[in-house]
Structure 1
């Protein structure tokens, strides 16, 4: 009987010791975000495509993917405008260039082509203006040289990797404080 009481007492002591650590002052989630509890909403203005040669769909695709990523990875509510966290910007670069050169039978040609996308993001935190930033994020994807850049432009899945990387980098800078 005494042994059972000691086990219960020990269990309660462990729980009481851990409670202060579990109820800390900062906010943490399993996605790594560090969002102030007073922040409840976010808004995303359409990212306009100002790149000379980006596909017509990239503005809408990037903006919707951006919204979806924040909705999946935070508990923030998306609002049409004036969110506690505000995002806006432009797609400023969409460029193809050779990434690797190869020499086949004395002919020098591209072995890989690289698509590089650049997006300028303006972030406003209405609850903590010290976290505001304006920054250009860039990412790329490599394609076989025999793939025509026009076919890549017409394939929304071809831009998935650089778009996802840019959105993830923006997420880390804005709410994960990396």
Structure 2
């Protein structure tokens, strides 16, 4: 049994080395070492203060938590840029009195992704998601924070999947 253990270890090391850098969260960053995530300005018709910074930080946090890439301000192996293109609140359910019972906040983000090492992976896509909330609630404070958390979680995961997980 002692002769088999080193052989198994050698095979395991060779197998994982051949696959490149792989994260157990589902993303393969290949030979990339750095990531550049530019600020995503809010170019939507309805501008919510702080949205640009909060989204940019959420996207940076997603990649820093789920990869071993180092964040850089310029010249990143993987580079994200774009803008928030939609911030919209609409009623989605009505009561018997013909008033809104529930509202929906939708945020859309246009993302341009550049992989300097594998240019075929580059894309320009829009990602969006929504959060529903009670129409009697003001979209502010805890309601707004919960909506941002839900929306940013989904959009940043979708961007991660499209860029490094290839889903």
Decide: shared fold, TM above 0.5: yes
Structure 2 residue 109 is matched with structure 1 residue 116: no
User: What's 1:82 paired with?
Assistant: 75
Unaligned runs of 5+ in 2: none
Q: Which runs of 5 or more residues in structure 1 are unaligned? A: 1-6
Take 1:11 and 1:42, find their aligned partners in 2: how far apart are those partners? 38
Q: How many residues align structurally?
A: 167
Q: With the length of structure 1 as denominator, give the TM-score of the two structures.
A: 0.84
Question: Corresponding residue for 1:175?
Answer: 164
Matched residues in 2 for 1:93 and 1:65: separation? 17
**CA separation of 1:13 and 1:82: change in aligned 2, threshold 3 A:** closer
Residue in structure 2 matched with residue 162 of structure 1 by the alignment: 151
- SS of the equivalent of 1:68 reads helix
Aligned in 2, Cα 1:87/1:22: closer, same or farther, shift over 3 Å?
A: closer
Match of residue 134 from structure 2: 144
User: Who wins on radius of gyration, i.e. which is larger?
Assistant: 1
TM-score by length of 2: 0.89
- Which residue number in structure 1 is paired with residue 42 of structure 2? 49
Provide the rounded CA distance (Å) in 2 between the counterparts of 1:17 and 1:72: 29
Q: Equivalent residue for 1:96?
A: 89
Compared with structure 1, are the counterparts of its residues 16 and 148 closer, same or farther at alpha carbon in structure 2 (3 Å cutoff)? closer
CA RMSD in angstroms, aligned pairs only: 2.1
Q: 1:25 aligns with which of 19, 25, 31?
A: 19
